[in-house]
Amino acid sequence: MKQFNVFVEDRVGELARVTEGLAQNAINIRGLATDRHGPRPAVKVVTDDEASTRKALKKAGFEFEESEVVLVDLIDRPGEIAKASRRMAKAGLNIDSVFIIGKQNTPASMAIVASDPVKAKMLFG
């Protein structure tokens, strides 16, 4: 699974522009976050259809990069994120990006971009 880091301008309406571009192509967003780290803001998106996402973003003229995402299934209770994070730390893996995919009272997943995605997948696979 991929996380798309879509680079946008620092102006009103950019999140709407990214999400509308995906919606117009019938792409369902599974996870979404924004980031103002670095010189340009970014919208981080995880979808169910990487090929269509890539095509839609290119068609809309967005600059983006892709990162491999490891999905870690979580039980909806306190401490589960801490447990997964500690497991990554003990394995010597740096977490570059993370956000939760899910909603209240349902199983959720933690989407992790790690320094070594192959090792992270083996850790949780």
**Predicted confidence (pLDDT) per residue in 56-74, tens digit:** 999 999 999 999 999 888 8
The total of structural domains in the chain comes to 2
> Are 35 and 61 part of one and the same domain?
yes
Give the percent of the chain with pLDDT over 90: 59
What is the model's pTM? 0.81
Instruction: Say whether pLDDT at 26 is over 60.
Output: yes
Q: What is the pLDDT of residue 106?
A: 61
Q: What is the pLDDT of residue 3?
A: 94
Six-digit token string for 11: 């102006």
Instruction: List beta partners, residue 31.
Output: 46
> Are 62 and 9 part of one and the same domain?
yes
Domain membership of residue 101 as a residue range: 70-124
For residues 14-37, give the mean pLDDT. 92
Q: What is the pLDDT of residue 76?
A: 81
Q: First vs last Cα of the chain: how many Å apart?
A: 13
Alpha-carbon distances, residue 10 vs 40, 56, 57, 97, 104 (angstroms): 7, 21, 18, 21, 31
Supply the mean pLDDT for the chain: 89
> Are 110 and 53 part of one and the same domain?
no
> Are 56 and 74 part of one and the same domain?
no
Instruction: Say whether pLDDT at 104 is over 60.
Output: no
Question: What is the C-alpha separation between 33 and 35, in angstroms, rounded?
Answer: 7
Q: Are 72 and 124 in contact (CB under 8 A)?
A: yes
